[in-house]
Amino acid sequence: MPPPSLIVHADWSAHASKRWMALGVLAANGRYHLHAPTPIEQSLDWLRRLRQMAGSHALLIGVDFPIGLPLAYARQIGSPPFLALLPQLGQGTWQMFYQVGQTPAQISLKRPFYPQRPGQSRLQHLLAGLNLSHANQLRRQCDLPQNGRRAAAPLFWTMGAQQVGKAAIHGWQTLLTPALQMPELRAAIWPFSGTMHELLQDGRLVLAEAYPGEFYRQLGLQFPRGAGGKRAQAGRQHNATRLLACAAHHQVTLDTALEEAIATGFGTAPGSEDRFDATVGVLGLIQGVIAQRPFPEPANPDIRHIEGWIWGQTG
């Protein structure tokens, strides 16, 4: 598998102040050099600049929001391939798709996100509105509990600390759809557009679903109870030695500013947690490329064309 010239992890959010990216650049010596995280602009200019930096070479971008549809839901709308359906969402007969339902009566197959605000909302309302009977039918195969990890929040649910619905709405509307409509980017979405080997060999800008939380275990990160977890500086600083060791093991060089940020747990300024996760994300992606993980890839056609997959998952 040809190594991409750029590897990026985008810590995504609907709030501009919480969107950060960490960038790894393949140097002439065949090793990656990792830059300190920077904010992601509101527009798609950051993708254009990355494409220009990569030239005709491939680049890999990991994003931490779900990409794909639960199979139980997709079957009710005719099992369309995700890439065929994506540009239609928010348009024509699908114009209400991204409009989050305010009441149970507004939930439908073409308006599946719910609820707009907390209160008397129940997950059962969403199940009933989508003609489903169990919460796992709102999850993709890669969202189910595995390897000691709890289940992800149901895709269309938009409330709670673990909700992913609004992240999907923002990511699909403002990143995936416009990126695919910009020919100069040569964008593709893994695994829907092909295998990672095919896409990288073809010099594409490859967008893949990837989560820092998935890489914590792979990189050997731990958050002692007394350190306060990743949201606390002490919790992030506890993993400084391990992050630096991971970089050294894969011969990844670091900006001085990034070395200092890792050593200090990324400080206490707003965005510290997001910069930490962007850094963990890009190291996880680099490790996957160098170690040829997470290959082999899912062979199930429903997963490859409808549900999608999470980089690094082997289940």
CA quadruple 306, 307, 313, 315: dihedral sign: negative
Concatenated DSSP letters of 16-45: GGG-EEEEEEE-TTS-EEEPPPEEPPSSSH
Q: Rounded to a whole number, what is the largest CA-CA distance in the chain?
A: 60
Residue 315's pLDDT is: 60
pLDDT given for residue 119 in this prediction = 76
Give the highest mean pLDDT range of 71-75, 224-228, 267-271: 71-75
Among 270, 209, 260, 233, smallest CA distance to 65 is for 209
Residue 201 pLDDT > 70 = yes
Q: Which two tokens stand for residue 185?
A: 């980017």
pLDDT digits (tens, 9 = 90+) for 84-136: 999 999 999 999 999 999 999 999 999 999 998 877 789 999 999 999 999 99
Q: 294 pLDDT exceeds 60?
A: no
Structure tokens, 171: 């990511």
Do 113 and 158 touch, CB atoms closer than 8 A?
Answer: yes
Q: Is the CB of residue 97 less than 8 Å from the CB of residue 111? A: yes
pLDDT (mean) for 161-190: 92
Per the document, the length of the chain is: 315
- Percent of residues, the chain, with pLDDT higher than 70: 97
- Which of these ranges, 90-104, 162-176, 205-219, has the smallest mean pLDDT? 162-176
pLDDT level of residue 164 (50, 70, 90 thresholds): confident
Is the per-residue pLDDT at 153 higher than 70?
Answer: yes
Question: How many DSSP H helices and E strands does the chain contain?
Answer: 13, 8
Q: Peptide bond before 115: cis, by omega within 30 degrees of 0? A: yes
Interatomic CA distance for residues 16 and 46, integer angstroms: 13
Distance in angstroms (rounded) separating the CA atoms of residues 33 and 26: 6
pLDDT of residue 45: 95
Q: How many CB atoms lie within 10 A of CB 220?
A: 12
Percent of the chain with pLDDT over 90: 79
In 57-205, which residue ranges form alpha helices assigned H by DSSP? Answer: 71-76, 82-85, 123-129, 165-171, 177-180, 196-201
Long-range contacts of 128-136 (CB under 8 A, 24+ apart): 128/104, 129/101, 129/104, 130/73, 130/76, 130/156, 131/76, 132/72, 132/73
Partner residues linked to 33 by β-bridges: 25, 253
Q: Predicted confidence band at 162 (pLDDT cuts at 50, 70, 90)? A: low
Q: Residues 140-165: what's their mean pLDDT?
A: 85
Cβ atoms 79, 91 nearer than 8 A: no
- Residue 233 CA to residue 222 CA, distance in Å, equals 13
What is d(CA 47, CA 185) in angstroms, rounded to the nearest whole number? 8
How many Å apart are CA 26 and CA 46, to the nearest integer?
A: 18
3-state helix vs strand vs coil in the chain, percent to 5: 40, 10, 45
State residue 229's pLDDT score: 85
- Would you call 84 helix, strand, or coil by DSSP? helix
Vertex 133: Cα angle to 132 and 138 (nearest 5): 55
- CA atoms of 26 and 24, how far apart (whole Å): 7
Q: How confident is the model at residue 292 (pLDDT cuts 50, 70, 90)?
A: low
What is the end-to-end Cα distance of the chain in Å, rounded? Answer: 22
293 pLDDT above the threshold of 60: no
Region 21-43: what's the mean pLDDT?
95
The per-residue pLDDT for range 53-78, each reduced to its tens digit, is 999 999 999 999 999 999 999 999 99
Q: Mean pLDDT for the chain?
A: 93
pLDDT at 212 over 80: yes
Report all structural domains of the chain as residue ranges with CATH numbers, in order of start.
6-66+174-290 (3.30.420), 71-167 (no CATH)
- Residues 24 and 32 sit within 8 Å (Cβ to Cβ): yes
DSSP state of 313: -
Q: Is the pLDDT of residue 21 over 80?
A: yes
How much is the average pLDDT of 202-228? 92
